[in-house]
Amino acid sequence: MPLHLILFAVAAFAWRLITLVISARHEKALKRDGATEYGAKNSIFLAASHVLYYICAVAEAAAGLHEPNTLVSAAGIVVYLASALVLVSVIRSLGRLWTIKIIISPQHRRVQSGLFSFVRHPNYFLNILPELIGFALVLNAYWTLVIGIPLYLIPLVTRIRQEEAAMRATFAPEM
């Protein structure tokens, strides 16, 4: 695997570790303040699916199953970086409420600013899915993309349904 692809994969893993640290810090504070977590088992499955997707894409690239296509890789970098900017925007909009889990605090208020004013779940539709697509494209990991995205949608759709149910229970008058 070319060095630039290795560096990209390492940077992408590092970026996700940074966001995991932010999430853990927010989760700890939210739970200390009486927040409730929903869908814990699926959150674990979703996180494991994310890591597995990354590992499969790297393994596919390392195996050299496809001829490297720099145009596809460049497009993947653009998609991946755009998804990272979306995540920064989502974290800024949600502030201390942002975690990789469904955690709702007693002081929770429905956020309708930033990207949330345009898209119901920007973290899922404008960050996570484009991130995974971009990651696979950078590495020319087409099998991971074609097989991995549909499989990833299983826990992601479950997550969205769980989050919607938790939000309806919390914000019924507002929704």
Relative orientation angle of helices 40-63 and 129-138, to the nearest 10 degrees: 20
Q: Specify the amino acid at residue 15.
A: W
Name the token pair of 79. Answer: 């998609």
Residue 102, beta-bridge partner list: 38
Contact call for residues 80 and 138 (beta carbons, < 8 A): yes
Query: Mean pLDDT in each 10-residue stretch from start to end of the chain (175 residues)?
Result: 93 97 97 95 97 98 92 98 97 94 86 88 96 98 98 98 91 63
**Residue 88 CA to chain centroid, in angstroms?**
11
This prediction's pTM = 0.93
The structural architecture, per CATH, of the domain 3-171 is: Up-down Bundle (1.20)
The pLDDT of residue 109 is 81
The pLDDT of residue 37 is 96
